Structure 1
Amino acid sequence: MKHFFMCLFFMGWYAFAFAQQKQIQGNIKNRAGTAIAYASVMVKNERNHIVSFKASDEKGDFALLLPDTLILYPIRLEIRHLGYKTIKLSITDLKKNYPIVMEEQAIDLSQVEVKSRPRIDRRGDTLSYEVSTFSKNEDRSIGDVLKRMPGIEVNDKGEIKYNGKSISNFYIDDDDLLNDRYAIGSKTIRHDMVKRVEILQNHQPIKVLRQRVLSDAVALNLVIKEKAKLKLTGQAKIGLGAPHQYDSELNTVLFNKKYKMLNVLKANNIGEDLLADFTAFNQSSFLAAMDNGHPQALLSASTVAVPELPKNQYYFNRSGSLNANNLVNLKNGIQLKSNINVLSDRNVLEYNSFNDLYLEDDTVHYSEEQKVFKSLFLTDISLSAEANKELYYFRNRLRVAYTGQPIRAELGSNEFELDQQLNDHISDFSNHLEYVPMLKNKNIIRAEWYTSYYRNFQKLTIWPGINDQVLNRDSAYARAEQMVQTPSWFNKMSLAYGLVNGLIKQQYQIGLLNEIQQLKSALRLEQLDGHTNPFEGSDDNNLRWTRSRLYTNAIYEYKMEKLEASFSIPMTWQIIRYQDHNFQVDNHKRQFFVNPSLRLKVMTTVEDFISLNYSYNNKVGDINNVYRGAILLNYRSLQSNDALLQEQNNHQAGLSYNFQHAITMLFLHGGLSWSKATANAILSSRVTNNITQTVLVPLSNNVSTFSVYGGASKYIFVFGATAAIKASWDNARYNQLLNGHLFPYANSTFSLSPSIEARLWSAISLSYNATGTWMKSKAVAKEGTPSLPEQQITLYDQSVQFNFAPYKSLFMTVTGRQQFRQQKRQHLSYFFVDANVRYRIDKWHSDIEMNLINLADVKDYETYSISGNRFYYSHYSLRGRMAVLKYTFSF
């Protein structure tokens, strides 16, 4: 409590130190007395930095808000307008009304080159990018234009960030049509349909909470042109190519005030991963608060990661998907929405790999050669009803999902061959209800109820029998079958009351959580004579898990002038019980946690701020940490636990700086973060050349991380270019317990990523992206610690793209990508070349294009990586050269 009152004293002192804002106002006319509209009005400090700006209205009036403490420093008013001389005027009295008379100035038109200057406007917390000033003739979707806008970043997965921060919502004319799966929108919505892209800072999606609850979220809103709202539009695409390639798509788009739709039907075998269209980038705050979600799937048929390449280089697929998103706004303010996702995908991954595990006096070597066949069927249906009004908010969302994925793998490992079959079936049902009304006294109530049922059934079959010395008393056998199923029921209810009218806004919440799970597993070995026995090294799992949690949370928020502060004190009392009569396990655990968090934000100027945050969390393991019976996770990993429930406390702290200057289109961000987690258990592994046996054992374990990061994005007006650079340095310290020896490890990674997109001449533009990564992993030398080799890897990945438009309707693109990887004296280098030629026939509303992929016909790809005392090498088969001719009709 002492620290809490000190925090309140600090916030009160800070508010006193900053006086109230004052308004500087005036009127702009010419010598004839005519009002001058849309003049650029700026207030600059002694360093020539803009501290406030606005455009005059149609009557020539302007008004800017300034803190009256600013008068302590030299400031001036600067007014600009095309065709008039610039006005520069010292400000001595913030209360004065400034009448401005501008003098006309002739312009020598012979010296003027007409250009479409990229435009960004700022109003309050909203930053608006004029799409037409950033787009190019060769652009298709709004995603192509977003990548060119300074301050906005779109990564390979389609996730959008603004000045280093992921967006929380993707709106289309203020409606959240796509929920959190917005990648399909940025790829499908044509850029010529969009008038502006708005970045909404400090965004609060629930209207009744705006100006009442602090938020540091960033959202993106697409403002659709009026003429694009009038009718249904879309595209039909068909493509054929060699060897035996096809690519087709049909989409329909309608965005008006009453009805919105974005429906996309796709099918291809050119390596496009359609599952990426269903990616959810951010969970809602309510769901993210659930630190225990669905149990993680345990079984797998593959042990190697995918290559660091564009997926169309190695993804041998036959895929089809339906992505249907429809929204209706009723007259009474109710919004009805459906999101239906269906995917069918068959793909093949072929590779061979080895990895070396360095121990004190030995090196364990694994090698494998595998061909994996996957067949995925996914359906995900979400139905919601919502009313988002000034006086109340209501939403109910129902979700039903099913995933089925049979996997077959042919594998050779350490000189023996085997086949695998993994069947994976997931059923998921959930309902989320929210209600937030405003009371007569202007305070708010927030009620939420979330319930879900989740079931994951997995069955792994391996033949012929493997590792008989461990699994079958050194006797050969026919096959092994491992079954695991984890049905789970989850229920969470909460009620909060908010006092939102005082100087310090307060919220008090109480909630109840119930969790019931079961983990059932059986490992069966089929003998050569046909009969089946259970694995004698362990009984089956039949574990039941319940968790009941009663929690409260007090949140205090303060905002005055340049300071924002938020302080929360969650308190949790929970009871966990887990039991398995097969192992005489019946454990109860009662715990009480206090997990405080603090966030401070100081505005250094109108557009810049410094943010500081700290949190302390207690985390408890889940059902996957406490099962006693052995489970064969894959063909070479056998895992069990000693029924110890893992507990972890974690300190996290961060300091960041955010700079944005809309007029000069300069965006900067940077900061540092630190975390330290202490757990009461560690995973111990017993490794041999054929199998790894792991168990969670009671031993204190610390993991600490420290990161420094930064980024900059700038539009360079002279060259018509958008340039950006990102850098980060990460250091992690952790422990590994292998074959009875504890290995403290330190991993460090430095990454540098520059990029630029520029128009070289009127018909030629260039885009360059690169990433350099330097990784080092070494054992921390301590007395009694075995000496292990230090591992270092250097990776350069760069791509350059040339766009050539010799005629208005003809576009040609050539892309080159180089990868270089070095470890000790070994190095690998690859170069890929793609080309695209597109001809637009405006009269027919059509495009004809030829895609040429991997012109160098690279069919083999090697890579290696390091992690702790492991070295990984992998070799992949690539698709090779491809050519696809595509016709697109827009309607």
Structure 2
Amino acid sequence: MRKFIFSCWLLLAALSVAAQRPLKGLVKDASGKGIESVNVTLKDTGGNIINFTRTNKNGAFNIELKNEAIAGYHLEASSIGFKKMVTTVTDVAKNYEVILQPSETTLETVTVKNRPSLTSRGDTLNYRTADFADKQDRSIGDVLKKMPGVEVAEDGKITYNGKSISNLYVDGDNLLDDKYNIGTKSIPHGAVDKVQVIQNDQPVKMMRKNNMSDDVALNLVIKDEAKLKMMGDATVGAGVPNRFDENLTAMLFNKKLKFINNIKGNNIGIDPGSDLIAHNFSDYAKKLDNDKPNGLLSTGAAGVPSLPQSRYLFNKAGLINLNNLYKFNPDLQLRANISYLYDKRHQEYNKFSETYLPGQTIRYAETQNNAINPQKLRAQFTLNGNAEKYYLNNNLVLEYSPFKTRSDLIINNVAANQLLKQKTFDLSNEFNYRKKLKSEDVINLYSYLNHTAQPEILNITPGLNPDILNNGNSYLDLTQQIKLPTWYTNNYVSFAFVKNNFVQTYKAGFNVQQQQLNSVLYRTQNNQQTEPVTGNTVNELDWFKTKLYTEATYEYTNDKLKAGLSLPLSYNHIDYSDAANQLHNSLNKLFINPSFNLKYETSTENYVTANYSFRNDLGNISDVYRGTILKNYRSLFSNDAPITESQTHNIGAGFNFRKAMQMLFANLTANYSDTELNTISAFNLSNNIQQKIVLPLNNHIRNFYLAANASKYLFTLKSTVNAGVSYSQSRYSQLQNNALLPFNTQTIAYKIGIEAKLSDFINWSYAANYAITDNKAIVANGIKTNFKQLRQQSALAITTIKNLYVNLSAEHLFTRQSSQPDLKYIFADANLRYKWLKMKTDIEFGITNLTNIKRFDAIYLSANSLTTGTYIIPGRVAMLKATFNF
């Protein structure tokens, strides 16, 4: 009997399977070419979804049917850049052919002769590189600066219409992982067919159907002929006085293997370490939620002058930068980014500062001569699987960063020396796995592990401030030692329910942070006896922080609207103790940090955004240590307060305007934040030392920011122009020498720029930035300060005869502060370059700082403090270089 029932069941199952006939078809564009990844949905007469699928690379689709009674049902085919097409089903056995027409978002190429053109399809805007490049341009970075809507900052950071790019892809691959400066500097513009701006960039394939991303990315589309061979360049340069500049770069961009490998060294003031800048690291660090101090000790240097780094930096540096990506198949790749930086820097300056307080002025003068030796070894290995049904990303990172600084000081006419040694070791692994189920729902597993060691030693000879640190007696030296090992992990699982245009995501996880702060401040007496300064200069602090969290996120998207609501709930527990300072406290807090964001397309190319968030934050271990730490030669820091708690309301809005065919881009951004804290930093200032202690006192900080920017290509003048204005205001309080002073700071900044082609053989660029800063203490007869600065830069590029190029540039800086004389500087440079085509070599001779300026004065203004500094900078430098291109 059982065998008979089982046989019947098998027969019925077989008949059921046989009865399931797939509905087949093909989706094409107007030219008859199949379209990949088109969403094809079968709906009944009431509009309910029966089943759906996506077309394959040939445009074909199959939709499984549970029964054949579907006459009158509708097939809907939709894809970004095309109009939605609806077809009525009349016959299950029929192969349906659907032809999609381009939607209104497709902008036709401008065909006017000798005019650059842009094309747009869906979320992607295409700049043809050749339309913006000139004969003098070398790298793609030179051309990006000329593209309307795209802005490249001095540090290499790229923004599009006011928004920072999230990634720079090379032929669709993330080769450089946010450290994209080496790409923009090295890739020849002649190898790039077009630059694509991808709005709403979503690198995870399975998430593109219900894409909630608001990121903007750039993709460099490499020409087919440039993919067939390795290319690069080698530079050899020498100059006076005693200058050298060497560079070797090799790159390859084929389907299987991509790499940009570079080795360079110079002593001409160009920092090779700028190639290692991760432009979006701060956003990434916030997601990790591992708030460990970067370093507690410093040399107290005065910073750097308000000049481009190449004008003030004395260096001798070398960098090995290896970036390699191998694709096993279109969905699986392995990437290795390995770099080592070695640098020696010299810095010399004089500084004088005044701090204005009710009834007194604190004055401080110093001279520093610094020898700085930063090093950084970093190895990152990333395995990435990115398919329609799964996403896997494992990121292993090892960093070792020894840093040493020697300083000769004269502090208020007292000579001293200091030596700072820091050795940071950081090891982490980040694992992320997503899986799409048959129901289209997505499960996500995430785990992050990290260990950091941060030993630091600061030695100062002779012992300073004996009245505070040695009962008024002279002594030999001070030594501050710190160790701060950190263990951290963050883990969660999430599940996303996907239904049409609506996605619900529910997350649950935990993180744990364990730290130990061991520090002691030693003094060595004249008889060579070493001892702690006092019992109050020792820390043996154990810190343990855990967080259990859940988060519900609701997201909706359609053709015009994207909206998201996030409701994270967390239970936070912190326990810290220090037997040496009789300290043992714990904290338990339950937080909900809601956020909301909205994006609405007012037209095909324009959109408005709005966002709101409320966030509770807790401080870290640097808020609670009780033993005094000598942060630098004149700063003693400690705490006498509970853990800092802050509550922040943040609200923002924006409008992005674009007319791509007219090459007009504009954006307007506004943001307001209001933060309340339960602690404040109290400073006790004298002419020789500053002491800071964190106290339990409510503190309120308010910030407002408003900015408008525009960029336009002027076809008749063959020029790209840009302009912008911004206004910022901050209200906060400072507690100095027992005086609580509320301050209001306002800054208005203006900028204009132009990249112009004056003729077939002359190009001209100009940029100006002007800022006005006002500070005022909001009390009767309050302190007022005003600061104005203008910076202008201009360059002229001339083609004199065939393949001979002349570049002339100048920079003007003007600074005005009411209590100080005006500061005016003009720097000028000249460069002559000949392209020896037969030998594929550029011969270049250049002179920087023609006027031979060797001292630079600068003014810094903040709240009630004015600082003037004099920096020794490199004078005139002449260089002869040869660059061979292959």
**1:881 partnered with 2:881:** no
Tell me if structure 2 keeps the 8 A contact 1:859–1:877: yes
Aligned positions, number: 794
Cα deviation, residue 761, structure 1: 1.7
What do residues 188-228 of structure 1 show as CA deviations (whole Å, max 9, x unaligned)? 11100100100110111111111224010001100000000
Tell me if structure 1 keeps the 8 A contact 2:484–2:516: yes
- Separation in structure 2 between the aligned mates of residue 79 and residue 178 of structure 1, nearest angstrom: 32
TM-score, structure 1 as length reference: 0.87
What do residues 393-421 of structure 1 show as CA deviations (whole Å, max 9, x unaligned)? 10111111101111100010111010000
Range that drifts further, 326-335 or 235-244: 326-335
Change (3 A) 1:184 1:446: same
Letter in 2 for 1:63: Q
1:662 corresponds in structure 2 to: 660
Matches within 5 A, 1:599-678: 599-678=597-676
1:871 corresponds in structure 2 to: 866
Indicate which of 826, 843, 849 corresponds to 1:831. Answer: 826
**1:157 partnered with 2:151:** no
1:811 corresponds in structure 2 to: 805
Change (3 A) 1:728 1:518: same
- Separation in structure 1 between the aligned mates of residue 402 and residue 427 of structure 2, nearest angstrom: 15
Letter in 1 for 2:756: A
Change (3 A) 1:440 1:698: same
Indicate which of 337, 347, 350 corresponds to 2:348. Answer: 350
Cα deviation, residue 78, structure 1: 12
Change (3 A) 1:371 1:619: same
2:169 corresponds in structure 1 to: 171
What do residues 143-193 of structure 1 show as CA deviations (whole Å, max 9, x unaligned)? 000000000000000001000000001100011000010011100111001
**1:802 partnered with 2:800:** no
Indicate which of 158, 179, 182 corresponds to 1:181. Answer: 179
Indicate which of 485, 488, 504 corresponds to 1:487. Answer: 485
Change (3 A) 1:385 1:62: closer
Please tell me the root mean square deviation across aligned C-alpha atoms, in Å: 2.0
Cα deviation, residue 296, structure 1: 2.8
Change (3 A) 1:448 1:265: same
Cα deviation, residue 765, structure 1: 1.2
Change (3 A) 1:846 1:542: same
Letter in 2 for 1:143: G
1:862 corresponds in structure 2 to: 857
Report SS of the residue matched to 1:732: strand
- Separation in structure 1 between the aligned mates of residue 715 and residue 847 of structure 2, nearest angstrom: 33
What do residues 94-129 of structure 1 show as CA deviations (whole Å, max 9, x unaligned)? xxxxxxxxxxxxxxxxxxxx9532121100000010
Indicate which of 804, 816, 821 corresponds to 1:822. Answer: 816
- Separation in structure 2 between the aligned mates of residue 451 and residue 609 of structure 1, nearest angstrom: 39
Report SS of the residue matched to 1:277: helix
- Separation in structure 2 between the aligned mates of residue 178 and residue 763 of structure 1, nearest angstrom: 35
Letter in 2 for 1:389: A
1:408 corresponds in structure 2 to: 406
Tell me if structure 2 keeps the 8 A contact 1:585–1:643: no
Change (3 A) 1:880 1:849: same
What do residues 347-398 of structure 1 show as CA deviations (whole Å, max 9, x unaligned)? 1010000110111111010111001101122100001111111111101111
Report SS of the residue matched to 1:289: helix
Range that drifts further, 677-686 or 818-827: 818-827
Indicate which of 457, 460, 463 corresponds to 2:458. Answer: 460
Matches within 5 A, 1:443-458: 443-458=441-456
Change (3 A) 1:79 1:823: closer
2:126 corresponds in structure 1 to: 128
- Separation in structure 1 between the aligned mates of residue 824 and residue 639 of structure 2, nearest angstrom: 43
Tell me if structure 2 keeps the 8 A contact 1:766–1:802: yes
Cα deviation, residue 66, structure 1: 6.5
Matches within 5 A, 1:472-511: 472-511=470-509
Cα deviation, residue 756, structure 1: 0.2
Report SS of the residue matched to 2:622: helix
Letter in 1 for 2:808: V
- Separation in structure 2 between the aligned mates of residue 66 and residue 180 of structure 1, nearest angstrom: 33
Matches within 5 A, 1:334-413: 334-413=332-411
Cα deviation, residue 663, structure 1: 0.3
Report SS of the residue matched to 1:624: helix
Cα deviation, residue 807, structure 1: 2.4
Report SS of the residue matched to 2:304: coil
Report SS of the residue matched to 1:671: strand
Change (3 A) 1:332 1:64: closer
Tell me if structure 2 keeps the 8 A contact 1:294–1:454: no
2:848 corresponds in structure 1 to: 853
- Separation in structure 2 between the aligned mates of residue 830 and residue 80 of structure 1, nearest angstrom: 46
Indicate which of 82, 101, 106 corresponds to 1:63. Answer: 101
Report SS of the residue matched to 2:288: coil
Report SS of the residue matched to 1:186: helix
Give the gaps of 5 or more residues in structure 1.
1-24, 28-51, 56-60, 68-76, 83-113
Cα deviation, residue 333, structure 1: 3.3
1:43 corresponds in structure 2 to: none
Matches within 5 A, 1:157-306: 157-283=155-281, 287-306=285-304
Change (3 A) 1:78 1:132: closer
Letter in 1 for 2:885: S
1:712 corresponds in structure 2 to: 710
Tell me if structure 1 keeps the 8 A contact 2:81–2:121: no
**1:596 partnered with 2:611:** no
Cα deviation, residue 763, structure 1: 1.0
Cα deviation, residue 287, structure 1: 4.3
Change (3 A) 1:332 1:201: closer
- Separation in structure 2 between the aligned mates of residue 833 and residue 537 of structure 1, nearest angstrom: 57
Range that drifts further, 187-196 or 503-512: 503-512
- Separation in structure 2 between the aligned mates of residue 360 and residue 78 of structure 1, nearest angstrom: 63
What do residues 277-308 of structure 1 show as CA deviations (whole Å, max 9, x unaligned)? 11001139664323433323111113312011
Give the gaps of 5 or more residues in structure 2.
1-28, 32-79, 84-98
What do residues 677-723 of structure 1 show as CA deviations (whole Å, max 9, x unaligned)? 00000000111111111100010000001111010000000000000
Report SS of the residue matched to 1:167: strand
Tell me if structure 1 keeps the 8 A contact 2:291–2:620: no
TM-score, structure 2 as length reference: 0.88
Letter in 1 for 2:847: L
Tell me if structure 2 keeps the 8 A contact 1:152–1:160: yes
- Separation in structure 2 between the aligned mates of residue 614 and residue 497 of structure 1, nearest angstrom: 24
Report SS of the residue matched to 1:628: coil
2:783 corresponds in structure 1 to: 789
Tell me if structure 2 keeps the 8 A contact 1:682–1:697: yes
- Separation in structure 1 between the aligned mates of residue 30 and residue 139 of structure 2, nearest angstrom: 43
- Separation in structure 2 between the aligned mates of residue 139 and residue 79 of structure 1, nearest angstrom: 28
Cα deviation, residue 65, structure 1: 4.0
Tell me if structure 1 keeps the 8 A contact 2:679–2:698: yes
What do residues 699-751 of structure 1 show as CA deviations (whole Å, max 9, x unaligned)? 00000011110100000000000000121000000000011110000000010
Tell me if structure 2 keeps the 8 A contact 1:564–1:601: yes
- Separation in structure 2 between the aligned mates of residue 776 and residue 78 of structure 1, nearest angstrom: 46
1:90 corresponds in structure 2 to: none
Matches within 5 A, 1:3-152: 63-65=101-103, 115-152=113-150
- Separation in structure 2 between the aligned mates of residue 764 and residue 213 of structure 1, nearest angstrom: 45
**1:313 partnered with 2:345:** no
Letter in 2 for 1:248: E
What do residues 30-83 of structure 1 show as CA deviations (whole Å, max 9, x unaligned)? xxxxxxxxxxxxxxxxxxxxxx9999xxxxx9935469xxxxxxxxx999997x
1:104 corresponds in structure 2 to: none
